[in-house]
Structure 1
């Protein structure tokens, strides 16, 4: 096992270990295709794509594990809880952006998330994408007939 794990780029001061998993080409290809790292996306599209992925899957735990899961309005309660959770996450993104970027002027690459304007676009895209995909998941789940035994 010791032959496979070594310091990253043979530099023991980096603080990262290179393993067959972390240093493989497959892992790099997967990570480079994530919207946070993909080249050529605007901050709005990054936020929209990340929001679409997250909002679609947030509704499931709220609808199936929530306190109203066995009632007639369990899916609606799960959807409303999902929207509330998305609002909380967007408020968290707002606070992070205000604390990190403050009132700085935008400079640099407009597709970089390291400016206040780009972060605001990212946050808006996340909110719209997450609410839209949660609504889509709600419509899909509400149209599935329930089976009774």
Structure 2
């Protein structure tokens, strides 16, 4: 009678370990060598070390997102990119996550704080599209 309980706990631990390992690996493969060095407090003698920590992600963004402007009509995919929602966040997307991302982006880009009015309009448009999206009708 105790054996099934022990086996169940063992299987649960193995599954949770595998799940967290895969999640960590998915995040790791997106890191550049300079990002890994920065996270480990290693100084690399290259031009990229003089950049601020925010600029370390520039290589990642250039590799994963196209260099063209916004599409004529915003799609859900583009709205997710504008709001910075990707990966596991999409699976767990709810109104609170969207609201928090929207507020964070609006604080950073608001025209009253020398932000771009165009980006503010795009952030508002992305929020409206995601509010009406099928992602919330799951």
Instruction: Report the TM-score when normalising by structure 1.
Output: 0.38
Larger RCO (alpha carbons 8 Å, 6+ apart): 1
- From the two aligned structures, give the one with the greater helix fraction: 2
Instruction: Report the TM-score when normalising by structure 2.
Output: 0.40
